[in-house]
Every structure is written in structure tokens, then in C-alpha cells.
């Protein structure tokens, strides 16, 4: 009997978040990656844009369980905190440089 292998088309980044059974765990992994600096730096700006667009799309789906909405919000907050932490680190580095020049 011949075996047929189904070929999968390449998936778009973060499209697996649209699958409800994977969403909660995936959002936790994304928050962990954000805490570890995964989205830091300009080289990941395309990832940030795609992630934000995907998360915003998920917020538009009606009748979402409260736990899921909270998980989405926690992910947004993790991204904002990461951005603020990066900006704060840059300001502190600049301040330290200015002090060293004096």
C-alpha cells in the first residue's frame, strides 16, 4: 500500500495563535520569550509588528473566555514592559556615559 504524505504549506508567523487549543500555552511561551529579551532590538521589529497584529486580531473575536482575554492582555503588558525596560536601560547607559565624560 502506497503511503501518501500530505504536504503542509508554510505557516505565517504567529498564525498558530488562531488555534484556540494552543493559544494559552503559546501566549505563556511568548511572555517568557519576551522576558528573556526575544523582542529586544531593532532586528526583531518585524516580529513585534506581526505579533501585535495577530494579538489585536484575537482581541476582535467575540465571546472569548475571560482567562483567554487576560492572557492576551498579559502578553501586551509584557511587550510594553519590555519596551520600557529597553528605553530605561538606554537612558541609564547614556547617563553613565555623561557622568564618565565629566
C-alpha cell at 77: 503588558
- The per-residue pLDDT for 57 is 81
Domain boundaries, the chain: 22-37+45-101
79 closest CA partner among 24, 31, 27, 29: 31
Grouped pLDDT means (10 residues each) for the chain, 102 residues: 63 76 84 82 76 81 79 88 85 89 75
Q: Between the CA of residue 91 and those of 35, 44, 57, 87, 100, what are the distances in Å?
A: 19, 20, 33, 6, 14
**Three-state SS at 65:** coil
Evaluate if pTM is beyond 0.75.
no
- Cα Dmax for the chain: 80
Amino acid at each position: 500500500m502506497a503511503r501518501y504524505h500530505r504536504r503542509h504549506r508554510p505557516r505565517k508567523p504567529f498564525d498558530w495563535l488562531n488555534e484556540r487549543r494552543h493559544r494559552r500555552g503559546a501566549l505563556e511561551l511568548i511572555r517568557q520569550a519576551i522576558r528573556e529579551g526575544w523582542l529586544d532590538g531593532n532586528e526583531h521589529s518585524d516580529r513585534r509588528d506581526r505579533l501585535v497584529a495577530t494579538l489585536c486580531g484575537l482581541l476582535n473575536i467575540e465571546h472569548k473566555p475571560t482567562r483567554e482575554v487576560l492572557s492576551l492582555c498579559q502578553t501586551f503588558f509584557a511587550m510594553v514592559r519590555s519596551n520600557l525596560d529597553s528605553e530605561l536601560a538606554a537612558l541609564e547607559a547614556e547617563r553613565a556615559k555623561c557622568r564618565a565624560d565629566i
